[in-house]
Structure formats: structure tokens, C-alpha cells
Amino acid sequence: MFSVSPRISAIPGYLHRSVPPHEKFPPGNGRRNNETSHNQPPALSIEPLDSIEGLHRVQQAPMSLSRPLRLLLLGAPGSGKGTQTSKLLKEISLPTLSSGDLLRQHGDDPKIKQTIARGELIPDDVMTGMVIGDLARRELLVGAGKSWLLDGFPRTLNQAVLLDKELSSHDSKLNCVVELNVPQSVILERIENRWVHIPSGRIYNLQYNPPKVAGQDDVTGEPLSKRPDDNVEVFQRRLDKYNELIEPLKQFYAEQGVLHTVDGETSDIIFPKLLKLIRDNFS
């Protein structure tokens, strides 16, 4: 067993700058047919499902759960975990805990602030304590009947072991771990064209989901920004690190019988599969 802490570079960070006039966005809406915009309802793909019957089940909504769902989404940086979470919350009433949001909430803590300022690693036990504390504060660990979703934690085997120990003491272990398996070539293409609205976290892509007005958020009209690590060379290093850490994590959850993998290149291919998996096992 080994211990690896998440690097501060993995914490969402941004380089805030307006889009200069010479950085032109593509004309027209620039969307691919299999992607959706913020203002359009998601279109279900008919390709990857096992049967037409399965497709009909996916299209039924809203979904009610017959037993508690304690879900963890795994996936490489840029695989679309945030997008899948947003889509899922439109179908299921599910409290969500994001490690990135949690770190921002604790950003004024002197110890956290000093750790980040020094560029050091946040200890696994500190991260685990923050996650368990937030779940407890929201009364999601009261008995075994609560459903919730974790996004961005755990990222390493040691974190998973610590979290599993704490959740076991509350009879609330994770019972569904889903890996979003997106080809790395697709992820790198996404990253090159990704822009974000920092205050809301809304993400745009110049190829398939551009803003209505070049360089501006659709809702507020505020300037979009580029993350400092959104370039191929830097992001490839992040992907390499993810691949190094994910296999022991997957093995840990596979041995518990809760690991599932969903394959796809776009969110509209992945989401019907994810929804069907949850419907078939928890609805």
C-alpha cells in the first residue's frame, strides 16, 4: 500500500484574462450534432445502448431511487465529470460534494492557505477529514439511507482507504464507482479549445459549445478565462500522473464489487450509458 497526496496543481486554478480581439472564435454556432449547448436540451445518442428497450428506459425521467446511491465518478482531467454531474442532477435529486468546491470553501483556513502558498501537498488525512466533515454537516451520514455523489475525491489509493474506513464507521460505504473512460486524444482536443467563466464554473468549448458572444459568458456577459494548465504539454503530464494513480484505485473498488466503466467520446454518448447503469441498479 502506498500514500500519494493530490498535488495543489490539481486544484482548479485559473489565469483570468479577457479574450483579446485577435483571438477569434469560429463563426456560426460551431456545434457538433452530438453535443448540446447551455440553452438546448440534451439529445440522447441511440448508438451505444445494448437495446432499444434500454434506450426507452434511459429516456424515462425523473428517476426515483429504490435504494440509497452513494456514487463516486472517476475520470481523467477533462473527461467531463462536471458535465456528467450536471446532467445527472437534472434526472436525480442527489446531494453533491466536490473536492474543488470544498477546498475553495476552506481557502481562508491558515493551514490550507499556507500549504497552497508553499506549493506543497494537502495531506490525505486532511482532505479526508474535510470530506467526512462536510458529509456529516449536511447530515448525509445519518444512518445508511442517504444518497449522495462525490466528485474529485478520492484520487489515490491511500485516500480511498482512509475514506472507506471513515464511511464504514457510519455504515455508508460507496456502493457505485463509475469510471468515465474517454480517449486521451479527445481529452487533449477538448482542452485546447476550453474556456471557462470563473464565478459560475460554466465551461465552453470553441468547437462544439462556443459562447453566443465571443469571449463572453452566455448568462452574465462577463469575460471568459483560460486555465493556465490548458495546453497540450502541461495537460499530458496531468494525464500521465492520473494514469499512474488510477489503476490501484480501480483495483481497490473492483475488489469491493462496486466498480463500473462507461466508455464514450462525448458527453451525449456517455450520459445515456451512465443513466441506464444507475437506473438498472438503483431504480
In a domain, 89, yes or no: yes
Cβ proximity of 202 and 98 under 8 Å: no
Query: Bigger pLDDT: 245 or 41?
Result: 245
Looking at residue 235, its pLDDT comes to 86
Q: Is 32 noted as a catalytic residue in this protein?
A: no
Position 252 in a domain: yes
The catalytic residue among 70, 202, 227, 279 is 227
Catalytically annotated residue among 194, 241, 273, 279: 194
* pLDDT of the residue at 119: 63
Partners of 148 in beta bridges = 70
Whether residue 227 lies in the annotated active site: yes
Tens digit of each residue's pLDDT (9 = 90 or more) over 188-221: 988 889 999 988 888 898 987 899 999 999 999 9
Q: Peptide bond before 199: cis, by omega within 30 degrees of 0?
A: no
Where would I find the beta strands (DSSP E) of 140-185?
148-151, 176-181
Q: What is the pLDDT of residue 10?
A: 37
Query: Strands 70-75, 176-181: parallel, antiparallel or unpaired by DSSP?
Result: parallel
Residue positions forming the annotated binding site for GTP: 78-83, 194, 203-204, 267
Q: Which residues are annotated as a binding site?
A: 78-83, 99, 104, 120-122, 152-155, 159, 194, 203-204, 227, 238, 267
Residue range 9-37: average pLDDT?
39
- Domain housing 195: 70-282
Annotated active-site residue 113? The verdict is no
- Which value, to the nearest 10 degrees, does the dihedral of the CA atoms of residues 251, 164, 9, 14 take? 110
For cell 454556432, name the residue: 29
Handedness of CA 194, 200, 201, 202 (dihedral sign): negative
* Nearest by Cα to 13 from 182, 229, 185, 167: 229
Q: What is the mean pLDDT of the chain?
A: 79
Separation of alpha carbons 27 and 30, rounded Å: 7
Encoded amino acid at 56, one letter = H
Binding-site residues for AMP, in ranges, read 99, 104, 120-122, 152-155, 159, 227, 238
Q: Give the highest mean pLDDT range of 133-137, 149-153, 174-178.
A: 174-178
Q: Is 92 part of any domain?
A: yes
In a domain, 200, yes or no: yes
C-alpha cell belonging to residue 134: 462536510
**Which range, 43-52, 59-68, 261-270, has the best average confidence (pLDDT)?**
261-270
Q: Is the pLDDT of residue 21 over 50?
A: no
Asked if residue 4 is part of any domain, the answer here is no
59-104: per-residue pLDDT in tens?
Answer: 444 688 999 999 999 999 889 898 899 899 999 989 999 887 887 7
DSSP assignment, residue 216?
Answer: B
Of the chain, the percentage scoring pLDDT greater than 90 comes to 48
Between 261 and 118, name the one with better pLDDT.
261
14 inside domain: no
Comparing CA positions, the residue from 267, 269, 248, 270 lying closest to residue 259 is: 248
| 215 within 8 A of 19, measured Cβ to Cβ | yes
Mean pLDDT of 94-120: 80
Residue 269 falls inside a structural domain: yes
Q: How many domains does the chain have?
A: 1
pLDDT exceeds cutoff 60 at 279: yes
Higher-scoring residue by pLDDT: 135, 58 = 135
Q: Which of 87, 190, 238, 273 is catalytic?
A: 238
Residue 60 lies in a domain: no
Integer Cα distance of 101 and 106 in angstroms: 9
Averaged pLDDT for residues 167-183 = 95
- The position carrying cell 437534472 is 90
pLDDT, tens only, 216-262: 999 999 999 988 778 888 889 889 989 999 999 999 999 999 999 99
Which residue reads 492520473 in cell numbers? Answer: 242
Give me the CATH number covering residue 121.
3.40.50.300
17 is catalytic: no
Catalytic one of 70, 155, 202, 273: 155
pLDDT at 147: 94
